[in-house]
Amino acid sequence: MRRKIVVIDEEKCTGCGLCVTSCAEGAIAIVDGKARLVSETYCDGLGDCLAACPEDAITIVEKEAEPFDETASKEHLDALSKKNDIPSFVCPGSASRQLRRASTEPATPSAHTQSELINWPVQLALVPPSAPYLKQADILLVADCVPFAMADFHASCLHGKPVLVACPKLDDVQTHTDKLTEVLNQAAPRSLSVLHMEVPCCSGLMRIAQAALDACDRDIPLHEAIVTINGTVRGD
């Protein structure tokens, strides 16, 4: 049948997840860092997600599509809610969760208690591209939630590396991309490592890094590691 349905421009999409939150039918999900229509049958074509998108990446078009199935949409929402323990229309990055630990006692301080921080400021927006500690260094670009999730962040990741902190969901993506490009051009670092959370919107930090590398005049190795909500690390 011919009807109105949502279309997402993946080139414009930054994977912020705001459209997921706004869609009460569960028709949209973040897949590989981009918003995608899960199924045509879940989309009612009313477009509540349009106003939520800060990049104007979502439009409504009239085309041949499967009819909206309200029953299937509700079953889909129920299944996701049971699987994730959060409503499917809530962005995973902002969903409220209580994390359960094996012990209720405070952690015993380890032998490694000193800070490994070698630069200040740490916010990407504030760090001067000409800072001497950035030159030919192994720069670590970190999502700002990472140090809270990782118990051994300083010992495992920070030793000897200048750190730049940013949030790809709450901060301005283009501003961060331009700033990081300037940093890479001026500092000529040995490498750039991106450490971000597992939630879909946080993968935007990797896209900021890649865009900056594409825009700069240097060939710099790029590495990625992903931190789970429970603090484990995947990647290189």
In this predicted model, what pLDDT tens digit does every residue of 145-202 receive, in sequence order?
999 999 899 999 999 999 999 998 888 889 999 999 999 999 999 999 999 998 878 8
Residues 6+ apart with CB under 8 A from 55: 12, 13, 14, 16
Among the residue ranges 40-44, 52-56, 134-138, the one predicted with the least confidence is 52-56
Q: What is the pLDDT of residue 225?
A: 95
pLDDT tens-place string over residues 86-123: 554 555 555 545 556 565 565 565 555 688 999 999 99
Q: Is the distance from CB of 199 to CB of 176 less than 8 angstroms?
A: no
Domain end: 84, 113, 140, which one? Answer: 84
Q: What is the pLDDT of residue 109?
A: 56
Domain end: 56, 84, 112, which one? Answer: 84
Q: What is the CATH number of the domain that holds 211?
A: 3.40.1050.10
% pLDDT > 70, the chain = 85
Reported as a pLDDT band with limits 50, 70 and 90, residue 33 is confident
Reported as a pLDDT band with limits 50, 70 and 90, residue 234 is confident
**Adjacent-strand bridge partners of 233:** 227
Kindly tell me if the per-residue pLDDT of 48 is higher than 70: yes
Domain carrying residue 8: 2-84
Domain end: 52, 84, 116, which one? Answer: 84
Residues 6+ apart with CB under 8 A from 135: 187, 188, 189
Q: What is the pLDDT of residue 137?
A: 96
The mean pLDDT value for 125-153 works out to: 94
Count structural domains, the chain: 2
* Pairwise CA distance, residues 114 & 14, whole Å: 37
Instruction: Examine residue 13 and state whether it is found in any structural domain, yes or no.
Output: yes
Instruction: Examine residue 117 and state whether it is found in any structural domain, yes or no.
Output: no
Query: Any idea what the Cα angle at residue 153 is, between residues 209 and 16, rounded to 5°?
Result: 40
Burial of 154 (C-beta count, 10 Å sphere; 0-12/13-18/19+): middle
Q: What is the pLDDT of residue 93?
A: 56
Q: What is the pTM assigned to this prediction?
A: 0.65
Q: What is the CATH number of the domain that holds 25?
A: 3.30.70.20
Instruction: Examine residue 46 and state whether it is found in any structural domain, yes or no.
Output: yes
The verdict on 137 and 230 lying in the same domain is yes
Give the single-character DSSP code of 218.
Answer: S
Q: Alpha helices, DSSP H only, in 95-232? A: 146-149, 153, 173-187, 204-215
What token pair was written down for 213? Answer: 């590398």
% pLDDT > 90, the chain = 53
Instruction: Examine residue 116 and state whether it is found in any structural domain, yes or no.
Output: no
Between 107 and 143, the more confident residue is 143
Between 110 and 62, the more confident residue is 62
